[in-house]
Amino acid sequence: MLANEDWLATLKWAESVGGLKQLIQRTNENLEVLEAFVAKNDWIHFLAETKEIRSSTSVCFKVDLSDEKLKELIKMLEKEKVAYDIGSYRDAPSGLRIWCGATVEKEDLQCLCEWIEWAYNLVK
């Protein structure tokens, strides 16, 4: 019953923000925040190099840091309570993984990008 109630609450929320069309727009706007961040910084790159195969929700990045420095960056973000579980999946190349689906606010991603840049500049 709880799973059903969760599902109904989710559908109500999706409807309240404008339905499917708005959910897709929110996701695309979130991805644009990350695209602008990558365009601004030459040390972070999309793991999926071609836009056509890039996910618009679970976005993965390569960072021009050694594995040790990247782990340090990830720990800094966690210590500052900025991001948790932001590292790549265990079987993926080293990097960052950011959820930017419709449930994420664009302003939060903009703030996250500033924190990532801060942490990068401290560990590089």
Q: Go through the domains of the chain in sequence order and give each one's CATH number.
A: 2-123 (3.90.1150.10)
Give the relative orientation of helices 19-40 and 106-123 as an angle to the nearest 10 degrees: 20
- Prediction pTM value: 0.90
Rg (CA), the chain: 16
Instruction: Note down pLDDT in tens along the chain; length 124 residues.
Output: 678 889 999 899 999 999 999 999 999 999 999 999 999 999 999 999 999 999 999 999 999 999 999 999 999 999 999 999 999 998 889 999 999 999 999 999 999 999 999 999 999 9
For residue 10, give the DSSP letter: H
